Amino acid sequence: MENHRRISGIILILCAILTLLLALFLLLSAKNESGPVSGGRQMPLKYSSLLSISDYDGYSVVSVRNPWGGGELARYILVPRAEELPDRLPEGTLLRTPLSRVVLFSGTHAALLEELDAVDAIAGVCDSRYIYVETVAGRISEGLVADCGSSMDIDAERLLEVSPDAVLVLPFENGGYGKLDRLNIPLVECAEYMENSPLASAEWIRFYGRLFGKAEIADSIFNEVSSEYEKLRDLAAASTVRPKLLCELKSSSAWYVPGGESTMGRMYADAGADYLFSYCKGGGSVPLSFETVLERAADADIWLMKYNSPVEKSYSSLLDEYSGYALLRPFAERNIFACNTACKRLFEESAFHPERLLKELVAIFHPELMPGYKMRYYERMRQ
């Protein structure tokens, strides 16, 4: 009888423990669900293949698809700063919006925040020597924006002093962020450069607008950008002439060209060029040997190049760098257009304003379609 009572007591204790464990499990599940709850309103995105944005009562969910292998690269839960946290939130990186203190890895996003009138939210930057946005560069020199070192070797101590709401980083395949991964600071994966078209990349402005409390402004900007881009693309498509295009420069032992599936590869096609390396697969840069470039592009009509230097390049300086350039027809016929990104805001503007660069490319490839156009980024190379 005594044994029976002991067994009954043990069973009661076990039941109580299991009940407590079940209650704890349900509580944790309610606070951290594995996915969005039902009833979300998905934002219609026309071009982006990497973004998904859905609104729920009291929060939004932003999913970023992994551009290198499918699946999800990151998920963000956006909750307005002025409101209390909802009782039930899905898994993801919590961001209280609008973000008021951020650290940037790229001058592209500095230019974007300038346009969104959110420069005050920039608390720090990496690679400050490549920040050419005047308002932000001025704030760096005045000590209002912290220099957090190199994006490849961030100054962790300085970053912690800045105490940002988030760091806007540039993701890359199979890569981590070193010290950043251990600092418990939200990282916003800025993967727009891996989109497969210029307008898909530009559509990310709608995500950034939500991060900084500028959603309506961002949506308006994007609508104007997409409308102008499509008009220019249709204008170029009407031309029957498609000049053969070579781009970029030899760098050490390789010549990196944009893949045919990259935003630039798509833009060259939209501008009415016969891009000679459109057959190269991938959305990033493709390394080729000089021999491969020469075989394919020796007879190109136009050569576009970008570089970053305090000294302007010329035909003679190109020969000093590499004598093989003289074998290319655009060199012999003096038909090279160059952009010095140290003094031209091509990178800063083209990600979210591709219509500006497209207009310039149409003017270069089809000058008859753009009479009187004044160059914004490129110049004919000097002797």
Stretch (H or E) spanning 253: none
The answer on pLDDT for 24 being more than 70 is no
Closest among 295, 106, 293 to 192, alpha carbons compared: 106
Residue 336 pairs with which residues in a beta bridge? 303
Taking residues 156-167, report their average pLDDT: 96
Q: Determine contact, residues 166/122, Cβ cutoff 8 Å.
A: no
Size (the chain), residues: 383
Taking residues 133-141, report their average pLDDT: 95
The pLDDT, as a whole number, for residue 39 is: 61
Say how far apart CA 154 and CA 378 lie, in whole Å.
33
Q: What is the per-residue pLDDT across 118-127, written as a single tens digit (0 to 9) for each?
A: 999 999 999 9
User: Of residues 40 and 85, which shows the higher confidence score?
Assistant: 85
The pLDDT, as a whole number, for residue 173 is: 83
Averaged confidence pLDDT in the chain: 90
Angle between helices 134-141 and 107-115 (to 10 degrees): 110
| pLDDT grade for 284, boundaries at 50, 70 and 90 | confident
Domains of the chain in start order, with CATH, are 34-97 (no CATH), 239-380 (3.40.50.1980)
Look at residue 319 and give its three-state secondary structure.
helix
Strand duo 102-104 + 166-169: pairing: parallel
Taking residues 347-369, report their average pLDDT: 97
Strand duo 274-275 + 244-247: pairing: parallel
Q: What is the per-residue pLDDT across 291-305, written as a single tens digit (0 to 9) for each?
A: 999 999 999 999 999
Within 10 angstroms of residue 141's Cβ, the number of other Cβ atoms is 11
The pLDDT, as a whole number, for residue 38 is: 52
Q: What is the per-residue pLDDT across 308-353, written as a single tens digit (0 to 9) for each?
A: 999 999 999 999 999 999 999 999 999 999 999 999 999 999 999 9
Strand duo 122-125 + 146-147: pairing: parallel
Residue 286 pairs with which residues in a beta bridge? 257
| pLDDT grade for 21, boundaries at 50, 70 and 90 | very low
The answer on pLDDT for 25 being more than 60 is no
Strand (E) positions, 8-125?
41-42, 51-56, 59-65, 72-80, 93-97, 102-104, 122-125
Contacts of 303 (CB under 8 A, 6+ apart): 245, 246, 247, 328, 330, 331, 335, 336, 337
| pLDDT grade for 281, boundaries at 50, 70 and 90 | confident
Please state the φ and ψ torsions of residue 197, each to the nearest 5 degrees: -155, 155
Closest among 255, 279, 243 to 327, alpha carbons compared: 255
Strand (E) positions, the chain?
41-42, 51-56, 59-65, 72-80, 93-97, 102-104, 122-125, 146-147, 149-150, 153-154, 166-169, 187-189, 244-247, 250-251, 254-258, 274-275, 285-288, 302-307, 336-340, 379-380
| pLDDT grade for 32, boundaries at 50, 70 and 90 | very low
The pLDDT, as a whole number, for residue 257 is: 96
Q: Which residues of 37-59 are buried (b: 16+ CB within 10 A; e: fewer)?
A: eeebeebebebbebbbbeebeeb
User: Of residues 11 and 376, which shows the higher confidence score?
Assistant: 376
pTM of the model: 0.86
| CA-derived radius of gyration, the chain | 26
Please state the φ and ψ torsions of residue 356, each to the nearest 5 degrees: -70, -45
Taking residues 248-266, report their average pLDDT: 94
Contacts of 183 (CB under 8 A, 6+ apart): 156, 159, 160
| pLDDT grade for 282, boundaries at 50, 70 and 90 | confident
| pLDDT grade for 383, boundaries at 50, 70 and 90 | confident
Taking residues 137-150, report their average pLDDT: 96
Q: What is the DSSP string of 343-379?
A: TS-HHHHHTT-HHHHHHHHHHHH-GGGSTTPPPSS-E
